[in-house]
């Protein structure tokens, strides 16, 4: 006869049920449904943009948030990224007697990978969080329902200006990041490793190809579209009370970073492979 005071050992069925519950929590399909809803919302927004259904005043407001409102953080990060990357590269190449190639390697690395990826990450932290939080708050407070009752399309009214603003400002931010990064690299090369500016810029011109900057901007546009569509989609599919707004914002940022990373691999193979 078993002692009722002794704790029961977990059974195989108990372990199986626990593992199944954990798997459901980790790999639930809610994120997949929200991703599909975001894709549909993005398609509607792009179609509305193609038909010219754009609110000018709303667009200007979103351009200010995605553009000048984010310039400072992009500027500071570009200065740091260009300087640090160049210190690492210039230190080794100077030891090998290849200091004349520093500018080209820096410009190539920035154009093909660092500038579009880091600028997208910065816009995710600055702009996507704002989009998801704003629309999520409007959803849980039933403002979206009120807009629909007024026979106004919430996608056209709320999503279209945000998507178009990101399509415009993402390549601008990326180009700014690239320019500041190369300039900071030139300054650090001259001050720390005595590489003449003429040698640095000649290296940049000889290493860069005519396709590098257009390919960089293509990456930036695609990343901007992903950032706007996913953040707006996550915001519009928020369910529950105000507490869910924080969960929505976090989920949107995670999904954006994952999709941008995967898309970056695909675009790099297509554009530079």
- pLDDT tens, per residue, the chain with 273 residues: 445 555 555 565 555 666 555 555 545 577 788 888 889 999 999 999 988 888 888 899 899 988 888 889 999 999 999 999 888 888 888 888 888 898 999 999 999 999 999 999 999 999 999 999 999 999 998 898 898 888 888 899 899 999 999 999 999 999 999 999 999 999 999 898 888 999 999 999 999 998 999 999 999 999 999 999 999 999 998 888 778 898 889 999 999 999 999 999 999 999 987
Residue 1: what pLDDT? 47
SS3 readout for 135-198: HHHHHHCCHHHHHHHCCCCHHHHHHHHHHHHHHHHHHHHHHHHHHHHHHHHHHHHHHHHCCCHH
Question: In this structure, are residues 10 and 201 in contact, taking their beta carbons and an 8 Å threshold?
Answer: no
Cα–Cα distance measured from residue 169 to residue 67, given in angstroms and rounded to the nearest whole number: 6
Exposure string over 137-166, b if 16+ CB within 10 A, otherwise e: bbbbeeebeeeeeeeeebbbbbbbbbbbbb
Residue 28: what pLDDT? 56
Prediction pTM value: 0.85
Residue 6: what pLDDT? 54
Residue 22: what pLDDT? 55
Helices (H), the chain: 12-26, 30-50, 56-66, 68-95, 102-109, 115-123, 129-140, 143-149, 154, 160-193, 197-207, 212-236, 243-272
Residue 5: what pLDDT? 53
Residue 7: what pLDDT? 52
Token pair 């629309």 in the structure block, residue: 135
Long-range CB contacts (within 8 A, 24+) of 192-200: 192/87, 192/90, 193/90, 193/91, 193/94, 193/99, 193/102, 195/90, 195/94, 195/99, 195/100, 195/102, 195/103, 199/99, 199/100, 199/103, 200/102, 200/103
Cα–Cα distance measured from residue 44 to residue 38, given in angstroms and rounded to the nearest whole number: 10
């Amino acid at each position: 006869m078993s002692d009722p005071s002794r704790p029961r050992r977990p059974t195989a069925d108990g372990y199986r049920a626990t593992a199944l519950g954990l798997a459901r929590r980790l790999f639930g399909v809610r994120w997949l449904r929200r991703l599909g809803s975001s894709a549909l919302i993005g398609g509607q927004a792009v179609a509305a943009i193609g038909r010219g259904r754009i609110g000018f005043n709303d667009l200007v407001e979103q351009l200010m948030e995605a553009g000048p409102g984010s310039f400072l953080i992009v500027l500071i990060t570009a200065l740091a990224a260009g300087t640090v990357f160049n210190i690492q590269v210039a230190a080794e190449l100077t030891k090998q007697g290849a200091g004349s190639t520093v500018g080209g390697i820096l410009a190539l690395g920035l154009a093909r990978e660092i500038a579009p990826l880091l600028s997208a990450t910065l816009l995710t932290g600055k702009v996507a969080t704002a989009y998801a939080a704003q629309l999520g708050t409007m959803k849980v407070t039933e403002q979206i329902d009120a807009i629909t009752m007024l026979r106004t399309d919430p996608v056209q009214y709320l999503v279209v200006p945000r998507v178009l603003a990101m399509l415009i400002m993402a390549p601008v931010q990326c180009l700014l990041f690239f320019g500041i990064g190369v300039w900071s690299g030139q300054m650090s090369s001259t001050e720390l490793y005595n590489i003449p500016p003429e040698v640095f810029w000649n290296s940049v011109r000889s290493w860069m190809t005519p396709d590098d900057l257009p390919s960089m901007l293509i990456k930036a546009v695609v990343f901007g579209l992903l950032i706007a569509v996913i953040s707006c989609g996550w915001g519009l599919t928020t369910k529950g009370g105000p507490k869910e707004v924080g969960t929505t914002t976090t989920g949107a940022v995670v999904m954006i970073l994952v999709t941008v990373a995967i898309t970056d691999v695909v675009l790099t193979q297509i554009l530079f492979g």
